[in-house]
Amino acid sequence: TNTPEKQGLGPVSDLVDLGTGEISREIFVNEEIFRREMEHLFPRAWLFVGHASQVPNPGDYFSSQMGSDPVLLTRDDKGEIHVLLNSCRHRGMRVCRYDEGNTMQFTCPYHAWSYSIDGALVETPGDLHGVPQMKAAYDNKLRKKQWGLVHCPNIHVYKGLVFANWDPEAPSFEEYVGDFHWWLDNLADAFDGTEGATEVFRGVLKWRIKSNWKFVSENFLGDTYHGASTHASVEAVGIGPGGKGKRRHGERQDQGGFSKGRMKTSFRLGHGASDNLAYEVPYPEFAEPEMEEYFAAAWQKRAEKLRAEDRPLGGRGPATLFPNMSFAAGFPRSILVAHPISPTETEVWRWFIVDKDAPEFVREWLRHYYMRYGGPAGMTEQDDMENWDYATQASLGVVARRYPYNYQQGLGQELPSDLDRAVHSHHAIAGEVNARAFYRRWAEFTDNLSWPELEELAKTDDRATAVAPDALPEIGRREED
Ligand code: FES
């Protein structure tokens, strides 16, 4: 097959064959491809850097990462949010080495240049503040205004979710997201539908896996195929969300999987979701009566609100915002970002969402649930980690790398959608249209196509031409009431 070793590395689009549904293993292991991703994809994509509730007060900061670059999410004295490159302008030292906190200024540990919370090189007089020995070293001529921390030029706060983009030419966040915003809404709105009334639990769960970052994105954006086999033990031992071994997903008993109504949604922009807007995820069955009461009331209130607004009730994922922000917006709600470390190593960060006005017993219940279910020690996440790590190891060999992965599920059977530049999978469980669309967009970014070219390509979509089998339901913007 088409490997860089044999042919020299041309465009990565040569390694993603959407006609046959074959994708070269090289894109998961190759150093040069990883370098191109860091150079052309991550500095141009809108990336999730944190939640506004992590920096509620002036002086608050949170250390985050954008591709290969460490950044600081900060809130200044006026309440403005900034995203700053966490690298000193003098010799590049990481000016802040803490995960989060509150400070008057960041003083570089190396030679003590100091920066205010909005990134400016401070003017404070004295040898140990601002720029030490300003007179002796620079004859007081250093132009401090030019040497503040580098600002990320594009920041967008969407219902508390903070996104940033390094490219001044990048399209707006709204254009980049498109109709996928419905999934972000369900993530950021409260369980009862109150807009943006959520926050994150303090602390971010972080761990490393020995596999490529794209395994994570792909898994969330539509790999419902793995659930029954990979997570069989979770269901078997009865540690679903309610602690009763049930998720109130009657359709799961139906052919061992999801109902037909849960067709996946794939966006030409590279985003993908494991469901569609018409598919309403039932809330789980709780062992505790007070939890049952709380969630039943919240679900009811949300349904009434959305129906009054003529909005569909579905769209809860799991899902991935291209390229590396994955999340579940149903139950539970959490955000997972796959930070690339190397072609075969990824640092995974998980944020856990809770309604701002959730009572203490709900917070406590959710906290325990999140620990039990997610993260490296959680019952679900460790299943996935095993798969990704072993898949990577078994794909690294000289012979293994000659053979592509198979992405042929539902090839040519995609179903049209009412959503802008989107299609649906032909089947609820099987169907890899989301992954194919993700890797197509990935190749376009990684091959460094210009913004006009990317925009033009995003208008075209030949996947929705397949005729929908009569047996399958309509799955457009919303189901008929
Ligand atoms: Fe920061 Fe020198 S590297 S002050």
Same domain for 214 and 363?
A: yes
110 lines ligand 1 (CB under 6 A): yes
Range from 181-195, 220-234, 236-250 that averages highest in pLDDT: 181-195
Residue 301 lies in a domain: yes
Q: How far apart are CA 261 and CA 57, in angstroms?
A: 44
CATH number at residue 218: 3.90.380.10
What is the 3-state composition of the chain as percent helix, strand, coil, each rounded to the nearest 5?
35, 20, 45
- End residue of a domain, out of 99, 133, 154: 154
Q: Contact at 8 Å (CB) between 62 and 100?
A: yes
Higher pLDDT, 465 or 97: 97
Q: Is residue 217 part of a domain?
A: yes
Binding site membership of 88 for ligand 1 (Cβ less than 6 Å): yes
Sign of the C-alpha dihedral, residues 78, 81, 86, 87? negative
User: Do 204 and 149 belong to one domain?
Assistant: no
Query: Does residue 438 belong to any structural domain of this protein?
Result: yes
- Strands laid side by side in the 81-85 sheet: 81-85, 69-75, 60-66, 100-102
Shortest-distance Cα residue to atom 3 of ligand 1: 91
Please compute, for residue 46, the number of CA atoms within 13 A of its CA located in the half-sphere on the CB side: 24
Q: Is 361 in the pocket of ligand 1 (CB under 6 A)?
A: no
**pLDDT-derived band at 3, boundaries 50, 70, 90:** low
User: Are residues 350 and 216 both part of a single domain?
Assistant: yes
Q: Would residue 186 count as lying in a domain?
A: no
pTM (two decimals) = 0.91
Find out whether the peptide bond into 43 is cis, omega within 30 degrees of 0.
no
Instruction: Name the residue among 433, 400, 436, 432 with its Cα closest to residue 17.
Output: 436
**108 CB within 6 A, ligand 1:** yes
d(CA 176, CA 214): 19
Note the pLDDT tens digit of each residue in 336-356: 999 999 999 999 999 999 999
* 369, 426: one domain: yes
Instruction: Give the three-state DSSP class for 425.
Output: coil
Instruction: Name the pLDDT band for 249 (thresholds 50, 70, 90).
Output: very low
For the chain, the average pLDDT equals 87
Domain-embedded: residue 42: no
Distance of CA 408 to the CA centre of its chain: 24
Residue 466 has pLDDT above 80, yes or no: no
Q: Would you say residue 138 lies in a domain?
A: yes
Q: Residue 65 Cα, ligand 1 centroid: separation in angstroms?
A: 20
> Which of the two residues, 357 and 284, has the higher pLDDT score?
357
Question: Using a 6 Å cutoff on CB, does residue 176 contact ligand 1?
Answer: no
Q: Long-range CB contacts (< 8 A, 24+ apart) of 88-92? A: 88/113, 88/149, 89/113, 89/121, 89/147, 89/148, 89/149, 89/150, 90/147
Q: In the chain, what percentage of residues exceed pLDDT 70?
A: 87
Task: Say whether both 226 and 287 belong to one domain.
Answer: yes
pLDDT more than 90, % of the chain: 65
pLDDT at residue 258 above 90?
no
Within 10 Å of residue 301's Cβ, how many Cβ atoms?
15
Confidence of residue 238 (pLDDT cuts 50, 70, 90): low
Q: pLDDT-based confidence at 467, cuts 50/70/90? A: very low
| CATH code for the domain of 149 | 2.102.10.10
The pLDDT of residue 219 is 95
- At 287-337, the pLDDT tens digits run 889 998 998 999 899 999 999 998 888 898 899 999 999 999 887 799 999
Give the separation between CA 162 and CA 284, rounded to whole angstroms. Answer: 29
User: Which residues have a Cβ under 8 Å from the Cβ of 158 and sit 6 or more positions away?
Assistant: 173, 181, 184, 188
**What pLDDT score does 126 carry?**
54
290/388 same-domain check: yes
In terms of pLDDT, which residue wins out, 369 or 57? Answer: 57
For residue range 431-454, what is the model confidence (pLDDT) as tens digits? 899 999 999 999 999 999 999 999
- Domain shared by 260 and 138, yes or no: no
6 vs 28: CA distance, rounded Å: 17
Residue predicted with more confidence, 27 or 246? 27
Same domain for 213 and 148? Answer: no
Residue scoring higher pLDDT (373 or 200): 200
Within a domain: residue 122? yes
**How far apart are the CA of 78 and the centre of ligand 1, in A?**
27
Give the per-residue pLDDT at 270: 96
> How many angstroms separate the CA atoms of 131 and 44, rounded?
33
217 and 281 housed in the same domain: yes
Residue after which a domain boundary falls, among 95, 119, 154: 154
In tens, the pLDDT along 86-134 reads 999 999 999 999 999 999 999 999 999 999 999 999 866 554 568 998 8
CA atoms of 198 and 186, how far apart (whole Å): 10
pLDDT grade for 383, boundaries at 50, 70 and 90: confident
Residues 333, 409, single domain; the answer is yes
- Give residue 262's pLDDT band: very low, low, confident or very high (50, 70, 90): confident
Q: Let me know whether 323 and 459 are in one domain.
A: yes
Q: Which atom of ligand 1 is nearest to the CA of 112?
A: 4
| Final residue before a domain boundary, out of 124, 154, 184 | 154
- At 461 the pLDDT is 66
Categorize the per-residue pLDDT at 385 as very low, low, confident or very high, splitting at 50, 70 and 90.
confident
Q: Tokens for 201?
A: 């639990």
Residues 2-22 as b or e (16 or more Cβ within 10 Å = b):
ebbeeeeeeebbebbbbeebb
pLDDT at 478: 36
The domain containing residue 91 runs over which residues?
A: 47-154
Number of domains in the chain: 2
Q: Supply the residue whose CA is at minimum distance from atom 4 of ligand 1.
A: 111
Residue 178 resides in a domain: no
Q: What is the mean pLDDT of residues 383-395?
A: 91
Q: Report the SS3 class of residue 310.
A: coil
The pLDDT tens digits for 5-15 are: 555 789 999 99
Residues 360 and 293 in one domain: yes
ipTM reported for the complex, 2 dp: 1.00
Q: Whose CA is nearest to atom 2 of ligand 1?
A: 111
